[in-house]
Amino acid sequence: MSEIITKSVKELNKALSDGELSSSEITQAFVDKIKEDDDTYEVFLTKTLDEALNEAKAFDEKGQAPRTIVDGLPYVLKDNIVTKDIRTTAASKILDNFIPPYDASVYEDLNEDGAILLGKVNMDEFAMGSSTENSAYRKTKNPWDLTRVPGGSSGGSAAAVSAHLAPFALGSDTGGSIRQPAAYTGVVGVKPTYGLVSRYGLIAFASSLDQIGTFTNTVEDAALILSRIAKNDKKDSTSFSGTYPDFIKDLEAPLTGRTIAVVPAFEEGLQDEIRDSLKEAIDVYKDLGAEIVEVDFKLLEQALSAYYMIASAEASSNLARYDGVRYGVRAQDYDGLVDMYVKTRTEGFGPEVKRRIMLGTYALSSGYYDAFYKKAMQIRTLVVNEYDKIFKKADLLLTPTTATTAFKFGERSDPIEMYLSDLYTIPANISGIPALSMPAGLDKNGLPIGLQLSGPALSEGLLFNAAHAYEKVTGNEKLER
């Protein structure tokens, strides 16, 4: 069994095509692993294991080779991606009983491609957080060290792939929620260019920043899966409507002549082993023929502040819809309509979600709008300009994904300290550019380190090319369990 569950999507697809493995054998191996380990890692919020086995059987009975890279293969979805007739909570009590009446476009696409859903996985409530501790349901463990968080907000998706409960997962990234947990759990996490993957059916947190992306064990898997889910969607008005680049054709291209930017000032405040890993990566890229250029990035802290203003402002508006009337749970005892709204929201939302709603409502309120929201939007423009300057000098930017490796449960109880977990990931969301986190060795406690590559809009192909080259040289330390 362990042989099956540690295979990449590409290897599983090949085994299916060659008739070495059936979809039932593959799906059963993951189902067994989930039954064995989910109580330990606390990954799932809703399981669809019987349905998955039935779909696998149906695939096998057709007796046909897989039509797509994911055909006949199991996977998991973050629980903020809606699935018709399958409970979707966004890890919030307010959606405890929510059964969506429609499918998110990504889920529809994966269904058409023949992928098999194993279930919906844990996250920070409404994707607000960096540790998955804000889930109203359970505390997902980091598979590398059960006393530590898997990161967040897509902690369940990251832990599922890291612990081999699924060969791939989708998550969402508003300020780092794919890349940061990917770094903490030693997997590949990709936040695509804003608009590349449809947000239709993604439960909205901050609509101008939210983006769906992938968790995989290899860079190539990420490129293959993103190629399936990146497409124009009429149901999402922010969906990219131009030509979608081919993310795979240059995967093996040489890096000679490529320029990679690094920011020397970012080395301050990094955990020692992460600084070392970054230096080693620079050497790897030099050996591969790339030129390294040093650049400034002055707006890191301002980007973080601007993010928490913009994201909270958008969240306060997006979450107004949870009023006990249209979705989910309604308070039991109330005295009139306003009291029903108040009690439903008071009982339904957790503390972090309430904090964001208050922060966002305040930032948008008359008299404060210019000082907070407008200022944040001005910083946003400056961050976009800062990246433009960098990408005039270089093809890609290499940075750490996070300043530390995974922290312990309860260690970042101060909200500001928790917000700082996303320092290096947030600027990419602010400017809409693609970024990925790739595994880059282990620290002295044996915890995974992640490095981040980002590039201009639609440069995913180049990101995959550079990350794949690094992965081939360094190998990728995987959790073998």
Q: How many CA atoms lie within 13 A of 142 on its CB side?
A: 28
> Any contact of residue 135 with ligand GLN (CB under 6 A)?
no
Interface residue with ligand GLN among 175, 213, 434, 456 (CB under 6 A) is: 175
Among the options 157, 177, 277, 454, which is catalytic? 177
Binding mask 193-222 for ligand GLN (x = CB under 6 A): ------------x-----------------
Nearer to ligand GLN, 244 or 409 (CB): 409
CB 434 within 8 A of CB 183: no
What residue ranges in 98-176 does DSSP mark as E strands? 116-121, 168-172
Interface residue with ligand GLN among 31, 106, 127, 462 (CB under 6 A) is: 127
Q: How many CA atoms lie within 13 A of 158 on its CB side?
A: 40
Q: Tell the smallest beta-carbon distance from residue 315 to ligand GLN (Å).
A: 8
Interface residue with ligand GLN among 66, 72, 129, 461 (CB under 6 A) is: 129
DSSP state for residue 126 in the 8-state scheme: G
Annotated catalytic, 437?
A: no
Torsion of CA 378, 379, 381, 382, to 10 degrees: 130
The residue range among 43-51, 59-67, 174-182, 386-394 that interacts with ligand GLN, by the rule CB under 6 A, is 174-182
**Burial class, 111, CB count within 10 angstroms (exposed 0-12 / middle 13-18 / buried 19+):** middle
Q: Tell the smallest beta-carbon distance from residue 454 to ligand GLN (Å).
A: 15
The residue range among 25-33, 175-183, 216-224, 247-255 that interacts with ligand GLN, by the rule CB under 6 A, is 175-183
Nearest-angstrom CA–CA distance, 318 and 333: 25
What residue ranges in 276-359 does DSSP mark as E strands? 291-294
CB 68 within 8 A of CB 168: no
- The enclosing H or E element of 310 equals helix 300-318
Q: How far is CA 340 from CA 66, 179, 330, 412, in A?
A: 51, 38, 7, 34
Annotated catalytic, 177?
A: yes
Nearer to ligand GLN, 69 or 310 (CB): 310
Among the options 47, 78, 120, 141, which is catalytic? 78
Tokens of 153: 């907000």
Site for ligand GLN in 366-405 (CB under 6 A): none
Interface residue with ligand GLN among 88, 153, 193, 316 (CB under 6 A) is: 153
Beta-ladder partners of 215: 169, 189
The residue type of 74 is P
Interface residue with ligand GLN among 130, 132, 437, 465 (CB under 6 A) is: 130
Packing angle between helix 375-393 and helix 300-318, nearest 10 degrees?
130
Tokens of 149: 């968080």
Nearer to ligand GLN, 24 or 402 (CB): 402
Nearer to ligand GLN, 7 or 356 (CB): 356
Interface residue with ligand GLN among 55, 79, 125, 173 (CB under 6 A) is: 173
Annotated catalytic, 153?
A: yes
Nearer to ligand GLN, 80 or 198 (CB): 80
The residue range among 123-131, 160-168, 339-347, 462-470 that interacts with ligand GLN, by the rule CB under 6 A, is 123-131
Please give the size of the binding site for ligand GLN, defined by CB under 6 A.
13
Interface residue with ligand GLN among 155, 176, 192, 432 (CB under 6 A) is: 176
Query: What does the H/E/C string look like for 363-377?
Result: HHCCCCCHHHHHHHH
Query: Going by DSSP bridges, is the β-strand pair 448-454/435-442 parallel, antiparallel, or unpaired?
Result: antiparallel
- Active-site residues, by number, are 78, 153, 177
Residue ranges binding ligand GLN (CB under 6 A) = 127-130, 153, 173-177, 205, 311, 422
